Amino acid sequence: MPPQKFSPRLRIAALFVAAATASTALPPASAAPLSDALSAAPEATSADRVVISPGQDGARQVGVSFRLHGASPTAAIEFGEDGAVTSSIPARRTSIGIGLSTYSAQLKDLRPETSYRYRIVGQRGAASQWETFTTASASDKPFEFLYFGDAQNGLDKQWRTTAEAGLAAAPDASLIVHGGDMVDTGSEKEWSDFWQAQQGANARIQTVGALGNHELVFDLTASKFKNAFTLPSNGPAPLDETTYSFDYQGVRFITLTGNGVFLDRQAKFLEQQLESNPNRWSVVVVHQPIYNGTERNYTDAYREAFGEIIEKYGVDLVLTGHDHTYGRGAKDGTEQTSGPQYVVATSGSKFFPTDESIDFWRRGGAHREVWAQETATFQKIRVEGCTMHYESVITHRGENQKTSNGVTEPGDTLDQFTIDKCAQR
């Protein structure tokens, strides 16, 4: 069955409903001393889809989302430094389903660049296995992150191949960034396949996502997306769970809702976050491209809403998806050693056509350095002092693959460049 299409007006109404629903939720719990009951050695609990995410201050805040199977009205997170469990906070239940519930918790007042271990405690003290994470440094120390465009289709095959290849290529990645359309119609199997392909890495590697249009299929409030992550809620209402920013080791990451809703509010937030950015680097993530790579999805809306702001403040990297092609380029006159660099990428089995005749970039006064048709990739980005190195690696190709540079084999580097700010003060 083809996915339903919803008008922007319906999406706007849905997000208003989502905002109203969110306003009735319980406030985040504050840390409390570990109780005797929780410190006991409990039986195992069936927690899954454990996803950690940075808070607005990535050095001091981490969000945790998870599911518990069975009737567990309450849950908590035990955590502490260096293996010592010193605190427990209750988790807020975000949804109740048949035989399972989802939960969210915010770990605050953490120490920068510190290793923590944590576990989830359910009803009657049943606990999950211990997991670990490390908070960001308060300074701009080097780190790597992975970016994945649309997984959406082929979730148990092609997306799994892409996820496994990316994680193997960046075993020390500090962040995983998803560009939206993680699923197609949002079925339980699709979400399971999406998370299982990442082999539990999201419980150890902080993970964030942008809202894609397919997260809204059969779920106009984007409830499954929102329940999957505990993200910073510093964006404009009613988009505060899908438009957000956070700082991580010298980079300000800004994620926009896109999807044709309240673009003026998103643009205002974008400019505010860039104007106040204390960091050397900035990365913008939004599902729909600023410059399209296929005729299937062409629109000027996002370039008109965000393009001038991105250029004005010299954003370094803009990561998008939606077009099921690969494309990377910049405004005319911008060299590969400087930003903004605009990326369109995909990571699953769904592809749209593109070739050298696509001129949407040219119409916007920009150019593509590299393009590819029917080519899935992962992107590995390393930020180190005054340089940001970007590499896109092929993981899967379709029968009608075409690339602008002749690179076609899985495992090969399709595209790479380095933004160099070392000459800047």
Q: Going from the N-terminus, what domains does the chain have, and what CATH number goes with each?
A: 31-134 (2.60.40.380), 143-420 (3.60.21.10)
Look at the chain and count its residues.
Answer: 425
- Whether the CB-CB separation of 184 and 216 falls below 8 Å is answered with no
Which amino acid makes up residue 23? S
Rounded-to-integer distance, Cα 169 and Cα 159, Å:
15
Q: What integer is the mean pLDDT of 110-115?
A: 97
Which residue from 18, 55, 17 is spatially nearest to 246, judged by alpha carbons? Answer: 55
Greater pLDDT, 19 or 139 = 139
What pLDDT, on the 0 to 100 scale, is given for residue 44?
54
Q: How far is CA 206 from CA 55, 138, 229, in A?
A: 10, 16, 10
10 pLDDT band (50/70/90 cuts)? Answer: very low
pLDDT per residue over 213-222, tens digit each? 999 999 999 9
Q: What integer is the mean pLDDT of 315-338?
A: 95
What pLDDT, on the 0 to 100 scale, is given for residue 71?
63
Q: What is the largest CA-CA distance in the chain?
A: 68
Q: What integer is the mean pLDDT of 257-276?
A: 97
Rounded-to-integer distance, Cα 291 and Cα 304, Å:
10
Q: Which range, of 33-37, 141-145, 381-385, averages the lowest pLDDT?
A: 33-37
What pLDDT, on the 0 to 100 scale, is given for residue 92?
94
pLDDT at 247 over 60: yes
Q: Which range, of 21-25, 52-56, 124-128, 148-152, averages the lowest pLDDT?
A: 21-25
Question: Tokens 């049943």 label which residue?
Answer: 126
Greater pLDDT, 17 or 423 = 423
pLDDT at 63 over 70: yes
32 pLDDT band (50/70/90 cuts)? Answer: very low
2 pLDDT band (50/70/90 cuts)? Answer: very low
- Whether the CB-CB separation of 246 and 58 falls below 8 Å is answered with yes
What pLDDT, on the 0 to 100 scale, is given for residue 28?
35
Locate the DSSP E strands across 291-386. Answer: 317-320, 326-331, 341-344, 366-384
What pLDDT, on the 0 to 100 scale, is given for residue 9?
40
Q: What integer is the mean pLDDT of 227-256?
A: 96
Cα within 13 Å of Cα(247), Cβ side: 18
What pLDDT, on the 0 to 100 scale, is given for residue 330?
96
425 pLDDT band (50/70/90 cuts)? Answer: low
Rounded-to-integer distance, Cα 61 and Cα 5, Å:
37
Residues pairing with 404 in the sheet: none
pLDDT per residue over 390-414, tens digit each? 999 999 999 999 999 999 999 999 9
Q: What is the chain's mean pLDDT, rounded?
A: 89
Task: Specify the 3-state DSSP secondary structure of 384.
Answer: strand
- Whether the CB-CB separation of 245 and 278 falls below 8 Å is answered with no
- First vs last Cα of the chain: how many Å apart? 55
pLDDT at 13 over 80: no
Token output for 408: 């076609």
What pLDDT, on the 0 to 100 scale, is given for residue 297?
81
Cα within 13 Å of Cα(132), Cβ side: 9
pLDDT per residue over 176-209, tens digit each? 999 999 999 999 999 999 999 999 999 999 999 9
For 280-309, b/e burial (b = at least 16 CB within 10 A) is bbbbbbbbbbbbbbbeebeeeebbebbbeb
Cβ burial of 316 (10 Å; 0-12, 13-18, 19+) is buried
Q: What integer is the mean pLDDT of 287-313?
A: 93
Token output for 96: 């109740």
Question: Tokens 């990297």 label which residue?
Answer: 317
Rounded-to-integer distance, Cα 307 and Cα 419, Å:
19
Rounded-to-integer distance, Cα 425 and Cα 422, Å:
8
pLDDT at 37 over 50: no
What pLDDT, on the 0 to 100 scale, is given for residue 124?
73
23 pLDDT band (50/70/90 cuts)? Answer: very low
